[in-house]
Amino acid sequence: ISEAGSKPEIVSADGVAGLLSMLGGEAAGELESARAICSLSEFTGSHAALATGLDSLVRLADASSASRDFAITTLHRLAGGGDAFAQAAMASSEAAIALLVKQLGSSSTSVSRAQAVSSLLRLCGSAESKGLIVSSGGVAALVAVAHADSVPAAARREAALVIASLSTTLHHAVIASTGGVEVLINALSAPSCDAEMTSAAAVALRELVACDAGRSSLLSMGVPSCVKLLSDPNSEVRLNGLDLLDALVTDAAGLACVCDASPAVPLLGMLTEVNALPQTISLLHTISSVNVTHRPIIDAGGVPLLLLLLSHELPAVHEHALATLAAITSLLQSMVVSPSD
């Protein structure tokens, strides 16, 4: 009846409760019930009712019975169907999250791993679900999926998005020490990186740079990607990029790494952004303490921009502008003396 198109009628007649009651019974009845439930799950209107039997469905999906595939398919539909009650039930279920993390393992097929990542992406929005994913060993499993060539590119991207979502203050140390920073930097560097991935990665990296492992990983491989964020069309991404670089230039080693990544030109481009101006000119002043940045600042037209800022209403802005001009004065003078240079 369900496959014939009468799914709404079955739900209205409380058929879901009857089918759920057969799970855990004799094998033949359980199999037919699981088959009918899976069919019903194609109808989003059944998801709230099906979620009341979540424990039974998870148990069945984690067993080796003939009903297992029907239960797994049903769970993925509950995770991705958009029903708020069903998704909340899944996101708060330790057993359901643990099952999805288990499905990420290398022993699963690439299709199964991709399905699990997609479901976790739809469930990882709450603090509770993030905690369950991390405590279930999900970070290492997601990092493995993100690096797996056997998994479709779309699934690797979704794994990076889940890692980005998990990268909160509460979990940043786990993410950073398990390879999460590398996943996010690789995602930013990929030719297929889109606006959603860029925004999510920028927010996540701003959190991850606050812990030692995250900062170390960024300095070893991620500084060029951080500098690239300064030229992104999205203003929030650019601001996150500023925050990242500010956090990286706090010691000599970090300052050297940032200066080697040619930040002067994009920073000069941000001097016209009113909200970001104080932070931008402060960072420009900081990097101007390294000689390698002087020529790019001059060649990119930085001197006229800095001169304009000498009359800015904020004392800190004109002080940083003046100090930056003072830092590049020696090179300016040599260029005047030797214009052929």
Q: What is the pLDDT of residues 309-318, one digit of tens each?
A: 999 999 999 9
Quote the mean pLDDT of the chain. Answer: 95
Q: Rounded mean pLDDT of 155-176?
A: 97
Overall pTM surpassing 0.85 (yes/no): yes
pLDDT at 334 over 90: no
Q: Rounded mean pLDDT of 168-191?
A: 95
pLDDT at 65 over 90: no
pLDDT at 110 over 90: yes
Q: Rounded mean pLDDT of 296-323?
A: 95
pLDDT at 245 over 70: yes
Higher pLDDT, 282 or 336: 282
pLDDT at 250 over 70: yes
Provide the pLDDT for residue 333. Answer: 75
pLDDT at 337 over 70: no
pLDDT at 41 over 70: yes
Q: Rounded mean pLDDT of 188-202?
A: 95
Confidence band for 180, pLDDT divided at 50, 70 and 90: very high
Question: Could you tell me what percent of the chain has a pLDDT over 70?
Answer: 98
pLDDT at 330 over 90: no
Provide the pLDDT for residue 336. Answer: 64
Provide the pLDDT for residue 211. Answer: 94
Return the closest-CA partner of residue 222 out of 194, 260, 264.
Answer: 260
